[in-house]
């Protein structure tokens, strides 16, 4: 853990001095939290930072997120200047804001720092579609793309970017290891956020009535309630920073996806091993959508998404909403 209390700004950069894609340590960071938030295993992190002492990380210390001489696949960088903001940087480099955030994990668009170095390599639809990350093997890109299109996702960037993230993290972070369980996960993401809205709309508008205050839904499966923010914060950061700043879950797409897989792993995975999709609905929003709840129509919408995704994966459902209704 950090050995000083001075807070410095977090940023990702491609460092000429380190010769690798680098990260600047901030208060509360640990080797584990840095590796997790950047989709690395601890073994990978250690291999990129030979001899690092994880018990004496210093705020402002720069650590590698890729091998020496590897810019992490980034072929073009932008140094932030006065007057820059994320939308402008993205537009100037033929990116969407989501693209910019995806290729700069941890980027806080509300707190850009002059001199901060961002990766601005192209990730749009003109690039070839991503291949399966090594060892994932759950579904191919074509299957995934057809599945999302079948349920109404039309943004090619959203499809390509989410595929890379989901395939890289489904098993390690969510314990999702079969096409059927992946279909359950994707159907629930579609119902909760349409792969777009990482903040609950009533929270943005200030009209939520569920009694959860600032801890309204964020992330792709809408992390809600203070106790879930506390538990996820301690899992990722080993502290309570998400209690004091819950919007970090929406600002950082690593956390938006990470919180979704964390919730799935801890609350849903074990419940659906018999193949009943309805149990996933019950684990996510059962008090409102399952038997006795006021919004059972929403459970049927989730089921429709699930069955369409299954079909794209070459599978069929025989359980309906068993486990929910």
The residue from 116, 181, 192, 276 that is catalytic is 192
Instruction: Give the per-residue pLDDT at 204.
Output: 58
Is pTM beyond 0.75? Reply is no
Structure tokens at 55: 């018990």
Same domain, 154 and 286: yes
| 44 occurs within a structural domain | yes
Instruction: Give the per-residue pLDDT at 123.
Output: 42
56 is catalytic: no
Same domain, 169 and 302: yes
| 136 occurs within a structural domain | no
> What count of residues does the chain have?
325
CB 156 within 8 A of CB 127: no
Q: What is the CATH number of the domain that holds 32?
A: 3.10.350.10
Structure tokens at 66: 């890729």
Instruction: Give the per-residue pLDDT at 32.
Output: 85
DSSP state, residue 321: T
Same domain, 153 and 298: yes
Same domain, 114 and 24: no
Same domain, 50 and 145: no
> Can you give the C-alpha Rg of the chain in angstroms?
20
Same domain, 159 and 212: yes
Instruction: Give the per-residue pLDDT at 104.
Output: 73
- Tens-of-pLDDT digits for all 325 residues of the chain? 433 333 333 333 333 334 566 677 777 788 888 888 778 888 888 888 888 888 888 876 778 887 765 545 577 878 878 777 776 787 788 876 667 777 776 666 666 667 667 788 744 433 445 544 443 569 998 999 999 999 999 988 888 888 888 988 898 899 999 999 999 999 999 999 999 989 987 655 666 766 678 999 999 999 999 999 999 999 998 999 999 999 999 998 889 999 999 999 999 999 999 999 999 999 999 999 999 899 999 999 999 999 999 999 999 999 999 999 9
DSSP state, residue 272: G
Q: What is the CATH number of the domain that holds 256?
A: 1.10.530.10
Same domain, 173 and 88: no
| 323 occurs within a structural domain | no
Instruction: Give the per-residue pLDDT at 122.
Output: 47
Same domain, 102 and 158: no
**H-helix or E-strand spanning residue 282:** helix 277-289
| 128 occurs within a structural domain | no
DSSP state, residue 264: I
Instruction: Give the per-residue pLDDT at 248.
Output: 94
Q: Is 64 helix (H, G, I), strand (E, B) or coil?
A: strand
**H-helix or E-strand spanning residue 286:** helix 277-289
- Print the domain residue range for 52: 12-64
| 107 occurs within a structural domain | yes
Structure tokens at 177: 């290891």
| 320 occurs within a structural domain | no
Instruction: Give the per-residue pLDDT at 217.
Output: 93
Looking at the structure of the chain, the number of domains it has is 3
DSSP state, residue 55: G
């Amino acid at each position: 853990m950090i050995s000083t209390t001075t807070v410095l700004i977090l940023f990702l950069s491609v460092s000429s001095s380190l010769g690798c894609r680098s990260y600047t340590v901030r208060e509360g960071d640990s080797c584990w939290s840095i590796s997790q938030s950047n989709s690395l295993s601890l073994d990978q992190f250690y291999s990129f930072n030979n001899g690092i002492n994880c018990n004496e990380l210093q705020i402002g210390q720069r650590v590698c997120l890729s091998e020496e001489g590897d810019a992490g696949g980034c072929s073009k960088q932008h140094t932030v200047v006065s007057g820059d903001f994320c939308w402008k940087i993205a537009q100037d480099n033929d990116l969407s804001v989501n693209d910019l955030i995806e290729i700069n994990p941890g980027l806080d668009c509300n707190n850009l720092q002059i001199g901060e170095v961002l990766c601005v390599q192209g990730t749009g639809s003109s690039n070839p579609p991503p291949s399966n990350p090594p060892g994932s093997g759950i579904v191919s890109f074509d299957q995934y793309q057809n599945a999302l299109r079948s349920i109404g996702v039309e943004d090619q960037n959203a499809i390509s970017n989410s595929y890379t993230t989901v395939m890289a993290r489904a098993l390690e972070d969510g314990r999702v290891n079969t096409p059927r369980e992946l279909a359950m996960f994707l159907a629930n993401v579609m119902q909760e956020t349409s792969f777009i809205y990482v903040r609950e709309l009533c929270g943005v508008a200030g009209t939520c009535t569920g009694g959860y205050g600032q801890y309204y839904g964020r992330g792709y499966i809408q992390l809600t309630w203070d106790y879930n923010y506390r538990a996820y914060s301690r899992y990722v950061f080993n502290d309570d920073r998400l209690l004091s700043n819950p919007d970090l879950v929406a600002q950082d797409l690593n956390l938006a996806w990470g919180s979704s897989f964390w919730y799935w792993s801890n609350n849903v995975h074990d419940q659906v091993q018999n193949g009943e999709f309805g149990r996933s609905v019950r684990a996510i929003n059962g008090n409102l959508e399952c038997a006795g709840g006021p919004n059972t129509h929403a459970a049927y919408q989730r089921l429709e998404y699930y069955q369409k995704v299954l079909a794209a994966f070459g599978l069929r459902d025989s359980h309906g909403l068993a486990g929910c209704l």
